[in-house]
Structure 1
Amino acid sequence: MTQSEKINVDIIATSDMHSYFLNGHHGSNIYRAGTYVKHMRQRNNNVVLLDSGGSLAGSLAAFYYAVVAPYKRHPMIKLMNAMEYDASGISPNEFKFGLSFFSRAVSLSRFPWLSANIEYNRTKEPYFSTPYTIKEIEGIKIAIVGLTSDGLMEREYFEMEHDVVIEKTLVSAKRWISYIHESEAPDFLIVIYHGGLNQLNTSTNEREQKVNEAEKIMQHIGVIDLLITGHQHQTFVGRNDQTVYVQAGQNAQKLVHIKVDFKKRTSSFELEGINSEIIDLNDFEEDKALLTETYYDRKAVEYWADDIITAHNLEAGVNGLEDVITQPHAFTQLLHDSIRLVYDLDISCVHLPKSGETGLQGTVTNAELYNAYPHPDVPMDLTIKGQHIKDILEYSYAHIEFSNDALSVTIIDETLCTFWQGVDYTIDMNAQPFNRVTLNNINLNHMYRVSMTDYCYRNYQSYLENAVIHDKHSITMNDLIADNLSNDSYQIQQKQQFKVYL
């Protein structure tokens, strides 16, 4: 190596792949990404392949391998191992199916999963071994550290675990990045942050506005050469002073290629330049070796997805949010009937499974049920005060408005809309927000035994601090709904009692 020799490093970033490994009409570019990575490695030995996290949950295939067939090796781990990823960040989605599921995936990975602020509850040490890794390329020391948005963690299965806590992202970033600079003296520092950029935040959701701290990391931490972000499912490249920041979209639809140029000095390396490029993967063929790797995995998912589970035609379609929040609805009654298969209590609480819910109609396949209820929520049995019931309902209806008897404003995540059975209540949308709910058969000071989804509990935990938890079941709402739909004698009979006055 001569004193003035130049060294080029290609850093390739993906994000939020959500286990989209089904190909064909299902659409997945992970196999095209494999072709691009292989092509770059043929041109340059100095390639670093990174993912910002979010690869193990968020799709039909992910649900199948976590809930239906958890005993099988996860195909995304197969693919990422075969593509020789150097590291992955950790998204809250990784915990969606529980800590043991994710820990098994980590153990089968031939690359590290990095997060400095996911810690053991007792010792406050990083839960997944070291939160950073060092990759040396021709004498250049590249440090890669992971961070996870603590705000995003609030809504996942994760905090139900007793072993793990999440530290504030900025606090952890300051401590670990300072430590890495002092102890490792890297020539180049990469931060993989599973969280977003506020400049890309178009949501009016108040929670969403609190979880994107990429700008704060760059402003308060400094000494970061490359920041790889995620979560927002956008593709973006930019620069803030000396830090280049990128976001690589979702589902491997595109990726970001960062070209880093170094110049060798006598006893050090000088960073000459960083250039970022968004790569459209549609210009590349699918990698045949990767397709072969997951051939039987894909067939198993497709066979299960097409299986019809209804015993007879179902009439539980949802025609927009207004249809389901203004009146008792067949779809929400189906959810109540399903949660009561486990806890047949007088009062039950369910939530809208997803924004833009369309419900279920006609004959239903496993894929259609997943699309209507895509989350592994489980029932809980707890005792709460009547005031808690009112507070939760008030929150939902305080964040929506009607004009001329039509829904005009929605500034709430639709999945936070709750529906109660065993509670007779009225909603007066003409009253002031947080003063719209009247409970007709509930004493605000009395205690009530209630079944609700763990999603409702997690998201309304600030209201439920004094709740007594009796039990949390392991069977998912998706499975319970399937049990009802496959029952020849099951029919939806409306039992909810609420009225909304517009």
Structure 2
Amino acid sequence: MNSITITILETSDIHGNIFPINYGSNETVGLGLGKIATVIKQERSRNRNTILIDNGDLIQGTPLTYHYVRSNNHKQNPMITLLNDLNYDAAVIGNHEFNYGMEVLQKAIKESDFPWLSANILNEKGEPFIGKPYILVELEDGVKAAILGVTTHYIPNWENPEYIKGFTFDDAFESTKKWVEEIRKQENPDVMIVSYHGGFEADLETGQPTEKQTGENQGYRICEEIEGIDLLLTGHQHRSLAGKVNGVPIVQPSFNGQAIGKVTLTLTKNNDRWTISDSNPELIFVNEIEMDESSLQLVKEYEAVTQEWLDQPIGKVIGNMTIEDPLKARIKDHPLVEFINKVQMDVAKVSISNTALFNNVTKGFPTNITMRDIVSNYIYPNTLTVIRISGKDIKEALERSASYFMVENGDVTVNPSFTTPKPQHYNYDMWEGINYIFDISKPIGKRVIELSLKGDPIQHDEEYDVVMNNYRAGGGGEYIMFKDKPIIKDIPLDMSELIANYILERGTIEATVDENWKVIW
């Protein structure tokens, strides 16, 4: 009887983070693929039987990747340069892979020395659009591992329809079930790995639902109901998880390159058949780990031109457009939020708009604005969409936003459904062009106590053209009242570019608030 130890390493939700930098301030932070590269090389030196997989959301998320797409894309994608150098075995398509459009994604796939996997995103012929649903990896002593790639099928709820035209997104759970059965029968692997760009919809210990069961995350159900999975790699939710569900080892390695998932499997041979005798899922956080200089050298030119671009002056602010307290900026009309809504209305040529503060680290604009200030405040490559909706839809959307707040002992706090298990501050919208009041002492669903347009109550059956980002217009963030509404106009430029253009044209902008909305309790 003999045994073999296999190491499976997973990165996920790197979101373009290579260098340990906060691009908004250029301060050093303990994350990034440059640090993860050190761990990968250490683990490989310890065990030749190492499998390395990226689980998606790789090519989007930092000014470096944004500037590459915008101005430098005649070269190889810097994220692919690094994954090639680190000899990844496979990568899975994440939802943010589509954010820059199909041309950028297809170029990245073409440049890769490793296969990309996604069994459930199908082309017009009904086949996986990148050709490979799974791969086999041969290890020492004839051990054979199968890797199946699956992606959350919820993407059409968020993505620009043009970027996913002609694709079908099959149910991730059903696709996983079908392919695991087929791979087990056809390939008879010793190890069946599922790499799923999705997360968990239930508490890992109790199985109690932790979110609305939309199908966006199905990891718990996959572990509970699909036989034959030896390991589930997950992502998408940006959580730090390592454990077992129904005996299946699982990991989810945080986000932005803060950690790498590691699962150690021990296989024992009995009667010419390898079986898994032990498994150990864990996370390795890279905060204290040194960067791998040879990896950073490969992309230093991309970083240099990005930094130069970020420091370009754009214009000036008269007044105060900085954010000191993000909660206060969501309770009372704020100049930054009003400004972004103004830009959206100006570009779209409509009189009603909504937007959000995406996170709690947004600082707003200083007196002298650079490109760095814009990309650190508007962090997503959103485009704008004008949709035609009813007064009833507006009221329902406002009630969804009003559910963001809770009142405890007279103090305003954030509803845990917007913070746990993943912070979703970006799902609280603030509107311009209409007047409204939230009374958050009232029950959720009955908090909009005033809603008017130019002094007249908004009528439920009237129609209004509203500009918002493409994620929201598709119903993202549980704004189902917007889904499948008539699209009046698409504005294909990235929002950060639209903001930069708006400021460049004027040179100077003014911090103003018309106080068209407020929150009371």
Normalised by the size of structure 2, how large is the TM-score?
Answer: 0.85
Counterpart residue number, 1:427: 438
Q: For residues 224 and 283 of structure 2, what CA distance do their matches in structure 1 show? A: 25
Cα distance, 1:40–1:406 mapped onto 2, change above 3 Å: closer
Find out whether 1:306 has 2:324 as its counterpart. no
Residue pair 1:92, 1:152 contacting (<8 A) in 2 also: yes
Q: In the TM superposition, what whole-angstrom CA distance separates every residue of 1:391-444 from its partner, at most 9, and x where no partner exists?
A: 211221144234676423434443222233332333344544333333323332
Aligned equivalents of 1:470 and 1:282: distance in 2? Answer: 47
- Find the aligned partners of 1:36 and 1:430 in 2 and give their Cα distance: 50
Q: Aligned pair 1:97/2:111, yes or no?
A: no
Check the 8 A contact 1:341/1:480 in 2, yes or no. no
Shift of 1:75: 1.0
| SS of the residue 1:420 aligns to | strand
Q: Is 2:53 aligned against 1:56?
A: no
- The one of 440, 447, 450 equivalent to 2:463 is 447
Q: Could you tell me whether the CA contact under 8 Å between 2:345 and 2:351 is conserved in 1?
A: no
2:499 maps to 481
Is 1:259–1:276's contact at 8 Å kept on the other side of the alignment? Answer: yes
Q: Where in structure 2 are the equivalents of 1:176-325 lying within 5 Å?
A: 176-197=179-200, 198-199=202-203, 206=211, 211-240=216-245, 242-264=247-269, 267-281=272-286, 285-312=290-317, 315-325=320-330
The one-letter code of the counterpart of 2:510 is Q
Distance in 2 (alpha carbons) for counterparts of 1:363 and 1:267: 70
Aligned mates of 2:144, 2:222 — CA distance in 1:
22
CA positional deviation for 1:312: 4.2
Measure the CA separation in 2 of the matches of 1:278 and 1:347: 46
Greater displacement, 442-451 / 37-46: 37-46
> Partners of 2:145 and 2:503 in 1: how far apart?
54
Paired with 2:288 and 2:194, the residues of 1 have a C-alpha distance of: 29
CA distance in 2, matches of 1:260, 1:408: 43
Q: Hey, what does 1:87 align to over in structure 2?
A: 90
Is the CA contact 1:320–1:358 (under 8 Å) kept in the aligned structure 2? no
Separation in structure 1 between the aligned mates of residue 302 and residue 213 of structure 2, nearest angstrom: 34
- How far the C-alpha of 1:266 sits from its partner, in A, is 6.3
Q: Unaligned regions of 5+ residues in structure 2, if any? A: 22-27, 419-423
Which of 11, 15, 39 is the matching residue for 2:12? 15
CA distance, structure 2, for counterparts of residue 305 and residue 205 of structure 1: 39
Q: SS at 2:183's partner residue?
A: helix
Match of 1:328, SS state, is coil
Local SS of the residue matching 1:185: coil
Are 2:510 and 1:491 aligned? yes
Partner-residue secondary structure (3-state), 2:158 = coil
Task: After superposition, give the CA deviation of every residue in 1:325-378 in whole Å (9 maximum; x if it has no partner).
Answer: 443321122112211332222223333333564433332332222221101121
Mapped contact 1:399–1:433 kept (Cα < 8 A): no
How many angstroms does 1:188 deviate by? 1.0
Structure 1 residue 463 and structure 2 residue 481: aligned? Answer: yes
Residues 463 and 253 of structure 1, relative CA distance in 2, 3 Å threshold: closer
2:370 pairs with 1:365:
yes
1:174, CA displacement in angstroms? 0.9
Query: Once superposed, which parts of structure 1, at least 4 consecutive aligned residues long, lie more than 6 Å away?
Result: none
Letter in 2 for 1:17: I
1:333·1:496 contact (CA, 8 Å) conserved in 2?
Answer: no
Distance 1:312 1:183, change over 3 A: same
Per the TM alignment, residue 19 of structure 1 is displaced from its structure 2 partner at its CA by 1.7
Partners of 1:160 and 1:444 lie apart in 2 by 33
Matched, 1:334 2:353: no
Corresponding residue number in structure 1 for 2:24: none
Instruction: Tell me the alpha carbon deviations over residues 92-135 of structure 1, each in whole angstroms, 9 at most, x when there is no partner.
Output: 12223333322221121111222222223x44322221211111
Q: Give, in whole Å, the separation in 1 of the partners of 2:500 and 2:512.
A: 17
Per-residue deviation, 1:216: 1.3
**CA deviations over 1:134-192 (Å, ceiling 9, x no partner):** 11224222100012233576334479632223222211111111111111111111111
Secondary structure in 1 aligned to 2:366? Answer: strand
Which residue number in structure 2 is paired with residue 416 of structure 1?
A: 427
Q: What is the percentage of aligned positions where both structures have the same residue? A: 27
Work out whether residues 157 and 471 of structure 2, in 8 Å CA contact, stay in contact via their aligned partners in 1: no
Cα separation, 1, equivalents of 2:444 and 2:284:
47
112 and 360 in structure 1: CA distance in 2 versus 1, 3 angstrom threshold: same
CA contact (8 A) 1:145 1:191 kept: yes
Give the alignment partner of residue 130 of structure 2, picking from 128, 140, 153.
128
CA distance in 1, matches of 2:159, 2:242: 28
**1:449, 1:30 → 2: CA distance?**
43
Structure 1 residue 496, shift from structure 2 partner? 5.8
Partners of 2:51 and 2:473 in 1: CA distance: 41
Mapped contact 1:22–1:61 kept (Cα < 8 A): no
Partner secondary structure for residue 481 of structure 2: coil
3-state DSSP of counterpart to 1:172: helix
- 1:74 equivalent to 2:74? Answer no
2-side partners of 1:436 and 1:266: how far apart? 67
Take 1:94 and 1:391, find their aligned partners in 2: how far apart are those partners? 31
Checking the alignment, whether the CA contact within 8 Å between 1:334 and 1:481 is kept in structure 2 is: no
Distance 1:23 1:223 in 2: 39
Shift in alpha-carbon separation, 1:429–1:283, aligned structure 2, 3 A: closer
Q: Secondary structure at the match of 1:13?
A: strand
Give the TM-score, by structure 1 length. 0.88
- Residue in structure 2 matched with residue 145 of structure 1 by the alignment: 148
Partner secondary structure for residue 451 of structure 1: strand
Q: Which moved more, 1:125-134 or 1:241-250?
A: 241-250
Alignment check: 8 A CA contact 1:237 1:245 kept: yes
